[in-house]
Structure 1
Amino acid sequence: MPMFDTERLKVAGVVTFYMGAALVMVFVNKAVLNNAPELPFIFLLIQLVIAVVLLHATAAVNERVKIPKIDMDTTKKLFPVVSVNIVGLVFNTLCLRGVEASFFQIARGLVLPLTIAVSSAHSRTSPPRSVMFCAGIVTFGFMFGVSPSAAVPLTAIPSTLSLFYGVLSSLFIAFHAVLIKSSLPYCNNSTIELAWWTNAGSALLILPFVVLKGEIATFYTLMYTDSWDSSVFLWGCLVTGVFGFLLCVAGLLSIKVTSPVTHMFSSAARSVLQTVLGVWIFNDVLTINRAASIAIILGGTM
């Protein structure tokens, strides 16, 4: 019997890679959104463009990395996964803008139950009762966490709209996780090619909203405002662009080597670190109610 199981080590490496990139993304995103809450769409657009540029740069120095050729047939087949991805990213960003970093995991606590529901509907199979029971525990943890708590200062209470964004984000992330499995064959089963289609397509889809929302003019105005620290926004865009590229590849690899539901396990497992770091970095409020909610969500997940 070999000392190391190569397949297990590969899965562990991919999951660790994903969790690390995801944690960096959450906290740098939060810092930038605190700095420029008026620019969520242009911030997201810059991240996506940087990811596409990095993919082309990687392909230029590594011949094994192939940038796909654009054709209408593939575009039509990948439109569902690309459109679901950008909608999920938008709601994810709007949710993070409106809640504390340590509360973000609670706001998106329905990711696992919704992934199980969408995955079951897609495969036309019923999950075992034990899985449904555990999903019920996670759902209860979410409801417990978003219930009013007198111990939370008014400034730390998330708005109903932010929580709604969190639920929508969870739903579209669940759809995206399931669609990835069925979309990979259209990209020669290459996570890099799917990452290019996802980032390039998402950038094109969000561009009109950046223009219509007037964020370009807002950015121009802020640049000439003495009280605004543009370096936080610009450096944040660069860092999240790089880690967004890594997170996209890591997430696709995670689903490829495991499954959509297992991918959500690793996503939920990082919430403990996320909560601790949120309290430490941003001085977030962590009440007994919120700590218990996270414990219930993690308990049901595990």
Structure 2
Amino acid sequence: MSNMESTKQNVSQTFQVAGVVSFYMAAALVMVFVNKAVLNSSPDLPLLFLLNQLVLAVILLHISALITPKVEIPHLDFKTAKKVAPVTLVNVIGLVFNILCLRGVEASFFQIARGLVLPLTIAVSSIQTHNVPSRRVLLAAGVVTLGFVLGVAPHTFANIQWRSAPSGLSIFYGVLSSLFIAVHAVLIKSSLPHVHNSTIQLAYWQNLGSALFLAPFILIQGEYGLLRVLMNSRDWNAGVFVWGSIITGVFGFLLCVAGLLSIKVTSPITHMFSSAARSVIQTLLGVWLFNDLFTSNRALSILIIALGTMYYTWVKSVESAPPRSSVPPRDPVDLEKAESALAKHTAELSSRGPQQ
């Protein structure tokens, strides 16, 4: 290959990487802010809003299957449903706590409220595998935890008080959301063999199963009855709720695809860097769009969480790399399989909106 052809290929790959990363960040940001806007206009219908997103994701998967044979809709049977029930149940519980947390906190604070995802994932994984993490992994978890603690502390280093401090219940929802995301990431590994190691099929089972799990609780909560009352009210903007459900449903579906593409085209490390950058942009947009108060400890908290997450990703890449002197040439097929397995696991740990 000539130098000119090599240069053109490198430029093309650079634009491809930039496009995919930008696509992922845009999808994630749209999810958070449209969710927040709808929840502000319809604060008493969070579960119904989530149900609409799950149902729309199932519909979009069917449409995708008609367009491309790469999207395979699984055959529905009770035996498989029983096997994937645990991961589906954990998924929907995490989604519920996720959206309840977003409803109660400012958009700029949402990333902090769910800042314990990484430490809890490390803890759950360690319990499941009975392996003690290395000191560097524990250090990364400690750094992220410190960032979370600084973010929820009721003071700032500049003595600037919050305009409206998030409630303890909303922060508790964020911690529970982080915990269920961590458990979900561990259960993913044991659930994939039941769906022929297909992330698309597992995504279909999860969205469909989560919708079925969620529907009865919406009835119990009385949200269907409240919806009828709101529809007859002149003060309620139904258009925001309907269009918000459609937009977040579409972007939730795209976010799943974008996360996998981001890791496939780049690497898990680059993906984590883009996630960290997104958290900063999310905070700044929250200040601009929703007039969130930007305090010094909030900024420091996000910075520490982002640095701890990136440090953890670097540590894992170093620890998992085999010694150069003892590694024989790898078969490209084996390398592709390894990268695919790593992408599946890392995608579940990446940040997400209500569509995890």
Return the TM-score normalized by structure 1: 0.90
Alignment partner of 2:160 out of 143, 151, 157: 151
Aligned counterparts of 1:43 and 1:233: Cα–Cα separation in 2: 8
Distance verdict in 2 for CA 1:16–1:78, change over 3 Å: farther
Aligned counterparts of 2:95 and 2:270: Cα–Cα separation in 1: 20
Native 8 Å contact 2:116 2:175 kept in 1: yes
Q: Give the Å deviation of 1:297.
A: 1.3
Does residue 55 of the first structure (1) align with residue 55 of the second (2)? no
Give the aligned CA root-mean-square deviation in angstroms: 2.7
Alignment partner of 1:219 out of 211, 227, 230: 227
Matched residues, number: 301
Aligned counterparts of 2:265 and 2:27: Cα–Cα separation in 1: 17
Alignment partner of 2:190 out of 170, 182, 195: 182
Q: Quick check: 20-29 or 176-185, which moved more?
A: 176-185
Native 8 Å contact 2:162 2:295 kept in 1: no
Q: Quick check: 28-37 or 271-280, which moved more?
A: 271-280
Q: Secondary structure at the match of 1:270?
A: helix
Aligned counterparts of 1:182 and 1:261: Cα–Cα separation in 2: 24
Q: Give the Å deviation of 1:73.
A: 1.8
Identity percentage of aligned residues: 64
Does residue 284 of the first structure (1) align with residue 283 of the second (2)? no
Structure 1's unaligned 5+ residue stretches are: none
Amino acid at match of 2:246: L
Q: Give the Å deviation of 1:74.
A: 1.1
Where does residue 136 of structure 1 map in the other structure? 142
Amino acid at match of 1:225: S
Alignment partner of 1:64 out of 70, 78, 103: 70
Q: Give the Å deviation of 1:266.
A: 5.1
Q: Secondary structure at the match of 2:106?
A: coil
Amino acid at match of 2:146: F
Aligned counterparts of 1:143 and 1:68: Cα–Cα separation in 2: 43
Native 8 Å contact 1:141 1:296 kept in 2: yes
Q: Give the Å deviation of 1:300.
A: 1.6
Alignment partner of 2:203 out of 195, 217, 220: 195
Bigger CA radius of gyration? 2
Alignment partner of 1:124 out of 126, 130, 141: 130
Aligned counterparts of 2:49 and 2:88: Cα–Cα separation in 1: 18
Native 8 Å contact 1:116 1:261 kept in 2: no
Amino acid at match of 1:272: V
Q: Give the Å deviation of 1:62.
A: 2.3
Distance verdict in 2 for CA 1:187–1:168, change over 3 Å: same
Return the TM-score normalized by structure 2: 0.77
Native 8 Å contact 1:115 1:261 kept in 2: no
Q: Give the Å deviation of 1:113.
A: 0.8
Alignment partner of 1:294 out of 293, 302, 306: 302
Where does residue 99 of structure 2 map in the other structure? 93
Native 8 Å contact 1:118 1:175 kept in 2: yes
Deviations 1:208-263 (A, max 9, x none): 01111000111111111111111111110010111122223445667899999997
Structure 2's unaligned 5+ residue stretches are: 311-356
Q: Secondary structure at the match of 1:211?
A: helix
Aligned counterparts of 2:178 and 2:55: Cα–Cα separation in 1: 24
Q: Give the Å deviation of 1:287.
A: 0.5
Does residue 110 of the first structure (1) align with residue 119 of the second (2)? no
Q: Give the Å deviation of 1:77.
A: 1.4
Where does residue 165 of structure 1 map in the other structure? 173
Distance verdict in 2 for CA 1:89–1:68, change over 3 Å: same
Amino acid at match of 1:178: V
Aligned counterparts of 1:128 and 1:265: Cα–Cα separation in 2: 22
Does residue 79 of the first structure (1) align with residue 88 of the second (2)? no
Correspondences of 1:205-244 after superposition (within 5 Å)? 205-244=213-252
Q: Give the Å deviation of 1:187.
A: 1.5
Q: Quick check: 169-178 or 26-35, which moved more?
A: 169-178
Larger relative contact order (CA 8 Å, sep ≥ 6): 1
Aligned counterparts of 1:137 and 1:26: Cα–Cα separation in 2: 25
Native 8 Å contact 2:64 2:71 kept in 1: yes
Alignment partner of 1:32 out of 26, 35, 38: 38
Deviations 1:170-216 (A, max 9, x none): 01111112222332222122221111101000000000011110001
Native 8 Å contact 1:88 1:168 kept in 2: yes
Distance verdict in 2 for CA 1:80–1:250, change over 3 Å: farther
Q: Give the Å deviation of 1:19.
A: 3.2
